[in-house]
Amino acid sequence: MQLIEELREEIARRQQFTMMVAHEMRNLLAPLTTGVELLAFADTAATIRARPVIARQVAQMTRLVEDLLVIAGGEQGRMSLCVASVDLRDVITAAVDIAQPAISAREHSLTLVPAISNPAVIDGDQVRLTQVVSNLLLNAAKFTPRRGAIHVVLEHEAPYVNLCVRDTGVGIAPDLLPNIFNVYVRATRGPEGNRSGLGLGLAVARYLVEQHGGTLCAYSAGPGKGSEFIVRLPVAANR
């Protein structure tokens, strides 16, 4: 009976997840539709206003689809990586470019602390690793009150490289930490009960890190005390 009940709960979670996907996609499509309608007018001012709206929504939809593909591929054992020598400093630069609009929109300060001057080279898929770090940065931006602080720290701890994303955000309650990376469980965080989005970013980040032979852990002193996510990856074999 317990197994049946667990299966029912899992089915219910997946059904809820599917509904959230549809709802989220609809939310993203609405501004796109409005933007396209504005582009139909010859008014240059309307066109200028529409362009950034469309660009933001397309970027969000692209990230959503990429995250969904990672989860779907991982569950079916289809995930493959294009492995090459990758400098994590380049990964951070690319990830910041992706997350910067969200960070700027909430007026956060972003501090990069590369604690090592030499290249932090690992064997990995640069596109996927960029997805990991950008997801962590977007998560920090989302759950940090306006004008907060985000820190990215890169440090060498042979035979690993640690990449830390810290924020001064809403933090994570102790009872939520064990579930923070679950795909079909979305925890309410923050005083306003922030539940926007699908909650895929952290699950995708952990899965991709594990595919690289690394670990992703979350730490928080509790609500209102910020969060820290640490990616730990083995250095390249020839280093």
The pLDDT profile of the chain, 239 residues, written as one tens digit per residue, is: 777 777 777 666 665 665 566 556 666 666 766 666 666 665 667 667 666 766 666 666 776 677 767 766 665 556 678 899 999 999 999 899 889 989 999 999 999 987 666 788 999 999 889 989 999 999 999 999 999 999 999 998 889 999 999 999 999 999 888 889 887 655 555 544 454 555 678 988 998 999 999 999 999 999 999 999 999 999 987 65
**What value does the CA radius of gyration of the chain take, rounded to a whole number of Å?**
19
Do residues 129 and 86 touch, judged by C-beta distance below 8 A? yes
* Start-to-end Cα distance in the chain: 53
- pTM, 2 dp: 0.74
Relative to beta strand 109-114, strand 149-157 is: parallel
* Beta-bridge mates of residue 153: 113, 164
For the stretch 211-216, contacts whose Cβ atoms lie closer than 8 Å and that sit 24 or more positions apart, written own/partner, are 211/74, 211/79, 211/81, 211/128, 212/81, 212/122, 212/123, 212/124, 212/125, 212/128, 212/129, 214/160, 216/132, 216/181
Q: How far apart are CA 229 and CA 219, in angstroms?
A: 6
Amino acid sitting at position 195: R
Q: How far apart are CA 1 and CA 199, in angstroms?
A: 30
